[in-house]
Structure 1
Amino acid sequence: MTRIGVTGHMNITRDSVPAIYREIVRILSATGDPAGLVGVSCIARGADSVFAQAVLDVGGRLEVVLPSRSYRERKVKPDHAEVFDGLIARAAIVRVMDFDDAGREAYEAANEAVVGTCDQLIAVWDGQPSEQGGTGTVVELARAKGVPVDIVWPPDAARG
């Protein structure tokens, strides 16, 4: 079994999605047997959801990590709700961090749960430094733990 987690920007542009999706599928497909693939994602808008869909599309299992009990109600915007709900419905496992509300501690716990349970991390990242808990700090966390990181940022990718 191969467990691959994801971190990435929430604000990738719509035009960036196809190239990012293709690169994620390429990395996931290189693991071999899709029946042994588990993708771990917080399914936030942007990179996390693109990754989660790619995992399902290649035949892997999706494991979702939610930062808090109220995440769906308080953080998922109406324009992402249908995608979020669809991914939750197809997830093999949904794990919820022990926080009532999503905040810095909850996000850091979710990031730790993703990184701490995967063999590899895909980072949809433009390489720019980030605030605490952002994509760059999750990449640093993974590297510090010895988790291999694949950076995905195709030449035409952009943030909106």
Structure 2
Amino acid sequence: MTHGRFVVVPAAYVFLLRDSPRDGATGPEVLLQLRQGTGYMDDHWAAAAAGHVEQGETAYDAARREALEEIDVRDLDLAFVTAMQRTRGGEPIDERIDFFFTARSWTGEPRIVEPAKCADLRWCPLDDLPEPVVPHERVVLEALRTGTAQAYTTFGF
């Protein structure tokens, strides 16, 4: 018996941030990956680490696990940014809740661990992002840039 309910898919995203090391540059940089071979938003820039929250795992735990699995960093000092409820045209499979975090300190040098899924890893100024960026992630990056992030965000409604 179906109740017309949908299943919400949770995911965690990590935006590593640093002050720009370039002379004369102002503002923070974010580490982004160029997606490839995933079947979702390939050839788009995205959070350096992100993935589904697994059963019995908190979003914080998922963020730490994904950062280790995807870019080989650990001991992240995570700061919660926003929870984003998103959909795509009301398709039940696309009801999502995304938990976004930043980290300004971690252990290890970020590197591509999954080359079949990541074509490039690049530090980008928050005020000059490459194109294209995954649309719902761009919303959060823009809120980080402008200092307007709120605890709850929606996308696609």
Larger Rg: 2
Could you say which TM-score interval applies, normalised by the shorter chain?
A: under 0.3
Higher helix share: 1
Q: TM-score, normalised on structure 1?
A: 0.28
